[in-house]
Amino acid sequence: MELTTKELAKYLDHTNLSPESTEEDIIKTCQEAVEFDTASVCVNSYWIPLVTKELTGSTVNPITVVGFPLGATNTATKVFETNSAIDDGAEEVDMVINIGELIAGHDDNVTEDIRKVAEATHAKGKLLKVILETSYLNDDQIVRGCQASEAAGADYVKTSTGFSSAGAKLADVALMRATVGDRLGVKASGGIHSRKEALEMIEAGASRLGVSATVKILSE
């Protein structure tokens, strides 16, 4: 696959979710995103008001994470986080599923958790991505997680938080794409460090990439 740097940039959610990030670090992340015209800047919700301000006048969206990184917060908390972040300026929300409930086979509970967040997100006209944390899951669980996300009304499924034992894998991305077809987006996140790896993820079926190595990837 061949993409220009400008084309590739619009696949990228320029991500800074480090707990050590300062205001200066977040501003720098925003400046990099605006320079390269990425799809978005993805940060923890505390920083959304600052990011929204810094991205004003650009085509880069502020986005945030919910139930992050473990997914085991209750649904009401995830919905509150979602509403608060959107009110502060978030255009997209990346939520973590209840991973243990998926592994246990309690798919109805997983679906309902996602559905409530999807309803809150869509009520405000925004997009929802659902993080499966594929490093903990087998193929059957990945498929079921995708099916639950689609049934609940999500807009994307996403591989990883970047805080687990492994990030995105090509086989997982391909499986997710095969499961959701062209009905949902697929976001590959975690462990993407080069232009080659980014393009391979897109070829496997990713329509968005979560990366912190944005500058390196787009400067290659």
- Residue of 13, 158, 169, 172 marked active site: 158
Beta bridge partners of 166: none
**Nearest-angstrom CA–CA distance, 212 and 58:** 19
- Residue of 13, 94, 155, 172 marked active site: 94
Distance of CA 113 to the CA centre of its chain: 17
Three-state DSSP class for 60? Answer: coil
**172 carries an active-site annotation:** no
Q: 42 with 16: CB under 8 angstroms?
A: yes
**Nearest-angstrom CA–CA distance, 195 and 219:** 9
Q: 33 with 16: CB under 8 angstroms?
A: no
Give Cα separations from 100 to 59, 104, 129, 133 (angstroms).
37, 6, 19, 11
| Residue whose C-alpha is closest to residue 211's, from 115, 156, 199, 150 | 199
- Residue of 78, 129, 169, 187 marked active site: 187
**107 carries an active-site annotation:** no
**94 carries an active-site annotation:** yes
Active site residues: 94, 158, 187
